[in-house]
Structure 1
Amino acid sequence: MNERKTQDKDGQDSDFVTDEQDSDFATDARMNERKMQDKDGQDSDFATDEQDSDFATDTRMNERKIQDFAPKIIECNSGLQIECDILFWVTQASAAPWLQTAGLATDASGFILVNDKLQSISHPQVFAAGDVATMVNHSRPKAGVFAVRQGKPLLENLQRALQKKPLKSFIPQKKFLILIGTGDQRAIASRGKIGFGPESLLWRWKDHIDRKFMDKFTNLKMEGRSYPSSGKGKSRKRKDSQIMHCAGCGAKVGSKVLEKVLHRIQQETQRDDILIGMNTPDDAAVVRVPTDKVMVQTIDYFPALVDDPYLLGKIATNHCLSDLFAMGATPQSALAIATIPYASSTKQENDLYQLLLGATEILNQAGAVLMGGHTTEGAELAFGLTCNGLAFSEKLLYNSGMQSGDVLILTKALGTGVLFAADMRLRAKGRWIESAIESMLVSNQNAAKLLLEYGATACTDVTGFGLVGHLLEMVKASQVAVELEIEAISVLPGVAEILQQGIFSSLYPENLRMSASIQNSDQVSSHILYPLLFDPQTSGGLLAAVPGESATACLQALQQEYSESRIIGRVVMLDTGVLPIKIC
């Protein structure tokens, strides 16, 4: 192929294809054109009559450079001008600047130089493969075929490096097949110096290869968790393990691990009302409660929904503290309970440290301290806390305070339950889970302060029982009814797509029983978001009843920090013989 470079508007060379690739065609995308004219001005079919295609390409061979371009015209050095509706400017791979800045040896283009073992030639502990790397002894184009082929040897050498075994060399293939679609359900093929097409048969071949490859990332196999069976790096299912793990107090994490972790945890917050905490080896913590206040206590504990112990510590702590915020209490102290997966003492120490680090960061931000806790070994990572808060008894918020005329405000978007249910089934996109985690990392503390400031009459946090479950507790306690606006509820990204696939949390069927309290459930149950009303939330938002006259101002204040806050309904009088919840 003959194309090497293109020029941008300023006449500077811009790589159009990589120097290592043989590519000698350019395409001119013509949208909504059913036909093209040949040299004699005659119409020639580019898309077959059977195809419903509004996209055509004009292949111009041997045009070495593009001199200039405008929104709808390309001008080549030869003087050729091509009109087009859309210009696709194709560039080659480029390296991130930080690779050089980090001190890694790189080639002239900034890609990491690696040896035959895929190790950095300057930092052997660093491995690199794919577009980010250039093999010193086997220079190849930045093409997907090479990146894919490097995956398995990279994995094997990483495992060998950890096991202190000799690394294996990898030599990439020299020739490879190129299949390029021309946009009209045909394709061009080349391998080495041989090329042919465009042909529809080649397109079908390319389409089959692409779909087969992508299917590996769509229909993923769900694998169970594995646990160490020996000190030699092998693992197997725990039920087949030869190692016996004791129960009772024999399941505790070792004292040396615990001692090392607690020595590393530095708490920024210090309180005078904590008489005995983690700084002494006593059997229990001791706190002082002021005579004019009451102590509010809550406890939560659940298995990890994220793999990162640090994030789990933060999410679980936010979740636990929300009960205090919903009651109008100020956090004072907490005791932790952690289950750490079976592993070496070094791994357990790191997991426990990361877990408690995340927890203490959130506690300290809330003005509370971690006083102690309990650790145990188990099959899966899990974490929870008993949280203590202080409040003036006359300022406590109850579920029973809702009054007719109040407006319902929800401070966070819904959907963590279905999102992580989909994630467990390998059906959730990464950005959806990232949005959910971002939401769960937001504390409800400031939201609670604002709700109190604007005269909230009742409050709860939306967690395991779902929106309807927790709302029903408030309705029953207050002896009122509510009208809930389903379209007003804020929803996390990806939730609608997951619900359409029929994916729900394992707790959803039990929560769905609450639909017996909805007076028009038959009419609204077909709404795409209806199952979301029963979705269990982790570190969910606050649901509060606010007097109607202050609701708008309260919402505006909340949205300065809690952008997903919404007015989702109103409180009305309860009619005898009528179910208390109506979906509007």
Structure 2
Amino acid sequence: DNPDDAAVVQPPVGKLLVHTVDYLRSLVKDPFIFGQIAANHCLNDLWAMGATPHNALAIATIPYGKPKQVEESLYQLLAGITKTLQQHQIPLIGGHSSEGSELSLGLACNGFVEPAKLLRKSGMEPGQVLILTKALGTGTLFAAAMRHQAKGRWLEEAVSSMLISNQQAAQLFQAQGATACTDVSGFGLVGHLVEMVQASQVSIELNLEAIPILTGAINTINMGITSSLQPQNLLAAHYLHTTENLSSLSEYQLLFDPQTSGGLLATVPPANVETCLHLLQEKGYQHSCVIGKVQGSLRDDQMIHLM
């Protein structure tokens, strides 16, 4: 509320300050819905690291238009952002807006975490189980929507998934002894798994059949419709040890599908998996499931064994 040039924050004693920033183009025409999706997307990095968000700054681009149209779009966008932030008691402490060719939004988010509770990508341990909290497919579905090839009910399910916060999933993973975590976003599932596996120096078994997929995503893949990021993400395929039978499946392509407001991917001790999944389902993560297992030490470039 003060008219100062910048926000000032006093970090709590004994805690680490965690910073993240993300920026994305709108997938939907409704700025209110987009504001909520973007806020969830940008907060995912903090949830994945075990941090408690403290504040956020926004930067928005509003499509050119008459002054009242621009003002209304900005109002709806900010209403969407603040709705999501307020659900987590996170203040929006500032921002900047401009006009441009399309609606886009970025958030710089900060949070705090106790050093002992910090989750990193490098914490995978042999014998642990991989759990994913959300289904894949937002990239191909919204690429199809741009071509008017996606059914409304497919997009409705995808939007509902993107509006789900990963806060409670992060808290459950902490309580169930997770030692490594990340969020699945622009690099796709395999891209983010490669980061975790390389950092942890382990190999993993990945069960293709177990991976949850949003309704309609197989249909749009079969139409040959993929995100513009898909070709770059497919470069990570050389880290996979697989067979021609598996790599020819439509489900295989979705391993590289970039996600917006995707799920958390964490490794949990096997003794806690059943309880963890039960609690995740109770909290509304209907697609949460076990998708693989951490194996022994990393021995070669083909670190992900697709089953």
TM-score, length basis structure 1:
0.52
Q: Distance in 2 between matches of 1:356 and 1:406?
A: 41
- The amino acid of 1:581's aligned partner reads I
Query: 2:160 — aligned with what?
Result: 438
Q: Contact 2:132–2:289 (CA<8 Å) still a contact in 1?
A: yes
CA displacement 1:565-584 (0-9 Å, x = unmatched) = 01000000135236100111
CA displacement 1:154-196 (0-9 Å, x = unmatched) = xxxxxxxxxxxxxxxxxxxxxxxxxxxxxxxxxxxxxxxxxxx
- The amino acid of 2:281's aligned partner reads Q
CA displacement 1:399-441 (0-9 Å, x = unmatched) = 0000000000000011000000100111000010000000000
Which of the residues 107, 127, 132 maps onto 1:410? 132
Q: Contact 1:462–1:543 (CA<8 Å) still a contact in 2?
A: yes
> Residue 241 of structure 2: SS of its match in structure 1?
coil
**How much does 1:521 deviate?**
5.2
Query: 2:292 — aligned with what?
Result: 569
Which of the residues 190, 193, 211 maps onto 1:489? 211
Moved more, 289-298 or 516-525: 516-525
CA displacement 1:208-242 (0-9 Å, x = unmatched) = xxxxxxxxxxxxxxxxxxxxxxxxxxxxxxxxxxx
Q: Distance in 1 between matches of 2:242 and 2:275?
A: 31
Structure 1 stretches of 5 or more lacking a match? 1-278
* Mapped pair 1:327 → 2:49: yes
* Mapped pair 1:313 → 2:26: no
> Residue 287 of structure 1: SS of its match in structure 2?
coil
CA displacement 1:105-138 (0-9 Å, x = unmatched) = xxxxxxxxxxxxxxxxxxxxxxxxxxxxxxxxxx
Q: Distance in 2 between matches of 1:286 and 1:376?
A: 24
Summarize the alignment of residues 434-583 of structure 1 with structure 2, pairs less than 5 Å apart.
Answer: 434-520=156-242, 522-560=244-282, 561-574=284-297, 576-577=299-300, 579-583=302-306
Q: Distance in 2 between matches of 1:305 and 1:507?
A: 14
Name the structure where helix makes up a greater proportion of residues: 2
Q: Contact 1:519–1:578 (CA<8 Å) still a contact in 2?
A: no
Q: Distance in 2 between matches of 1:362 and 1:577?
A: 43
> Residue 278 of structure 2: SS of its match in structure 1?
helix
Q: Distance in 2 between matches of 1:572 and 1:331?
A: 33
- Larger Rg computed on CA atoms: 1
Q: Distance in 1 between matches of 2:24 and 2:89?
A: 24
Query: 1:400 — aligned with what?
Result: 122
Q: Distance in 2 between matches of 1:576 and 1:389?
A: 36
Q: Contact 2:239–2:301 (CA<8 Å) still a contact in 1?
A: no
- The amino acid of 2:293's aligned partner reads R
Q: Distance in 2 between matches of 1:484 and 1:565?
A: 15
Summarize the alignment of residues 13-52 of structure 1 with structure 2, pairs less than 5 Å apart.
Answer: none
* Mapped pair 1:281 → 2:3: yes
CA displacement 1:474-507 (0-9 Å, x = unmatched) = 0000000010001111111111111111111110
Q: Contact 1:329–1:389 (CA<8 Å) still a contact in 2?
A: yes
Summarize the alignment of residues 252-271 of structure 1 with structure 2, pairs less than 5 Å apart.
Answer: none
Q: Contact 1:515–1:521 (CA<8 Å) still a contact in 2?
A: no
Query: 2:82 — aligned with what?
Result: 360
Instruction: State percent identity of aligned pairs.
Output: 56
> Residue 376 of structure 1: SS of its match in structure 2?
strand
Query: 1:374 — aligned with what?
Result: 96
- The amino acid of 2:286's aligned partner reads S
Query: 1:96 — aligned with what?
Result: none
Query: 1:132 — aligned with what?
Result: none
Moved more, 466-475 or 339-348: 339-348
Q: 1:519 to 1:376 in 2, by over 3 A?
A: same
> Residue 538 of structure 1: SS of its match in structure 2?
coil
Q: Contact 2:23–2:107 (CA<8 Å) still a contact in 1?
A: yes
Q: Contact 2:201–2:298 (CA<8 Å) still a contact in 1?
A: no
Higher relative contact order (CA 8 A, sep 6+): 2
Q: Distance in 2 between matches of 1:522 and 1:510?
A: 21
> Residue 286 of structure 1: SS of its match in structure 2?
coil
Q: Distance in 2 between matches of 1:578 and 1:531?
A: 20
Query: 1:423 — aligned with what?
Result: 145
Query: 1:77 — aligned with what?
Result: none
Query: CA RMSD, aligned part only?
Result: 1.0
**How much does 1:523 deviate?**
4.2
Query: 1:29 — aligned with what?
Result: none
